[in-house]
Amino acid sequence: MRYWIVLFGFMLLFYEIKGQQKPDFAPLETYLMSFSSKMRINIQVESLDGHVYFSQQPQEMVPSASVIKIPILVELMEQVKTGRFQLEDKYILADSDKVGGSGVLSKRMAGEEMSIDELARLMMIASDNTATNVIIRKVGRENINQRSRSLGLESLQLNRLMMDTAAVARGIDNYVTCRDINTLLRLIYHQKVATPMLCERMMGFLYENQDTLTLPRLIPKHIKIAHKTGGLAYVRGDAGIVFGEVPFVISVFIRDTKVEEAEKMLGEIGEICFEILNKNN
């Protein structure tokens, strides 16, 4: 009898280990090794509970481009939580607000009235730089950075406004790491910041992202992806949550290559990760 009990215990242990077997990310490693070592690629792939599947330089601070708009959004929602703002509050667009780059507000007439909620939505789904700068000024740049520090995410640094080319020329930029932006995404998903209702609103914005040239590019269209992209002449990045049968959190930043090549690579990385984690589902 004792023999069968011990044997049964070993069998349970075997199946438990097998069920928890770490996914094989060798295909992604092989893919990344096919590119020149001069190209800089930062990546982290993890589960919704923070188990790291694959990473490459995840703690290196990289220029964030518009991915920095995620912590900006979180601070806005935290201030909504405290009652400093309401999403229904109105803002009157001024000519002095308008900046170039991505977005639609720079082409709208001064004097147009819109809600804080609409500004936040445009910041996230269309990466609107004018809307972003309005929100930064309303909530305070240092408050955004202090929020990141209070969450233990010191690498998320907003050091300049959007389209501040003079600051960039002086070497001032905004930064993130793959590790910390993934953590912030998981905090939003698990409703650990602001309020559950406001986290749902943030997730809604991330689902609506209109830039699909990167991680969503080759993933089946019916798969929901909540993400925020970013792009400058010197970096193309994407950070988000892919909701396959096995969901995962992923951030990738690519530098030292052409934008079109970086977008293609981001799409292929997204596809490889999706297939590794969902090949049996």
Distance CA 160, CA 102 (A): 16
What is the band of 281 on the pLDDT scale with cuts at 50, 70, 90? low
pLDDT at 183: 98
| Residue 271 pLDDT greater than 60, yes or no | yes
Residue 24 reports pLDDT greater than 70: yes
The least confident of 99-103, 190-194, 211-215 is 99-103
For 127: left if phi > 0, alpha if psi spans -120 to 50, otherwise beta; the answer is left
- Does the domain at residues 21-84+154-278 carry the CATH identifier 3.40.710.10? yes
Query: Tell me, what's the pLDDT at 279?
Result: 81
Predicted local confidence at residue 221, as pLDDT = 96
Q: Is the model's pLDDT at 12 over the cut of 70?
A: no
Query: pTM of the prediction?
Result: 0.91
- Which helix or strand (DSSP H or E) is residue 212 part of? none
**What are 134-186's pLDDT values in tens digits?**
999 999 999 999 999 999 999 999 999 999 999 999 999 999 999 999 999 99
- Three-class DSSP category at 105: helix
Q: Band of the pLDDT at 37, cuts 50, 70, 90?
A: confident
Residue 81 has pLDDT above 90, yes or no: yes
C-alpha dihedral (221, 224, 228, 229), degrees to nearest 10: -20
pLDDT mean over 215-239: 97
